[in-house]
Chains A and B, each alone.
Chain A
Amino acid sequence: DAGVIQSPRHEVTEMGQEVTLRCKPISGHNSLFWYRQTMMRGLELLIYFNNNVPIDDSGMPEDRFSAKMPNASFSTLKIQPSEPRDSAVYFCAIPRLAGTDTQYFGPGTRLTVL
């Protein structure tokens, strides 16, 4: 989880509530990835940004999910309204070197929707 801060680390909410997950690369990156991890489906790419623009959001499960990257140092993933099946660990990741290297993951946010 070098260089990526995620907040909150744990979130428990009730069905129907809005949830906002945050990701902050310590040093600015204009590429950023959001993943979701569940026991049933494993690790899934939800969306990724390049130059702060969403490049591929085909993994976003439905319209209840939205993501923004207003600048190179911050991104949000919002779920509105939340449902119990959204319970998962959500990871944010950044590339170390664009084009030739791999991604560094944040510690994740564990979301529980009751």
Chain B
Amino acid sequence: AQSVTQLDSQVPVFEEAPVELRCNYSSSVSVYLFWYVQYPNQGLQLLLKYLSGSTLVESINGFEAEFNKSQTSFHLRKPSVHISDTAEYFCAVSEPPQGAQKLVFGQGTRLTINP
């Protein structure tokens, strides 16, 4: 069975500082990996995804994540955060070829940006 572990439940950082949100997964087969973001009082939005190909994937707002098969990780990074990045971030995994058929989510990491 698949599982996802987000090692940090809360991450406070100062504005313009770099941040890394950690995600490790377990699966006996190849996987698709996702990061979702949830802003206060909103639903989840897809931030970025890894399906195949390049192990480094990027979002339009400066986040990136790298798929590391040997370490079974998919950590999310941003070199300089902004106040507007304050949100909860969820890592998720699914098994191809089902793709979106069943996502398993981590517990979430609450990112708080301090001025």
Contacts and interface: CB of A to CB of B under 8 A. Distances in A.
A98 B103 CA distance: 13
A24 B32 CA distance: 27
Interface stretch (B13-21, B22-30, B78-86, B92-100): B92-100
A105 B104 CA distance: 14
A106 to B, nearest CB: 6
A105 to B, nearest CB: 4
Q: Say what secondary structure dominates the interface of chain B.
A: mixed
Contacts of A56: 102
Contact of A99 (B44, B97, B108): B97
Contact of A102 (B42, B100, B104, B107): B100
B102 A42 contact: no
Interface of B: 32, 34, 36, 42-46, 49, 51, 90, 94, 96-108
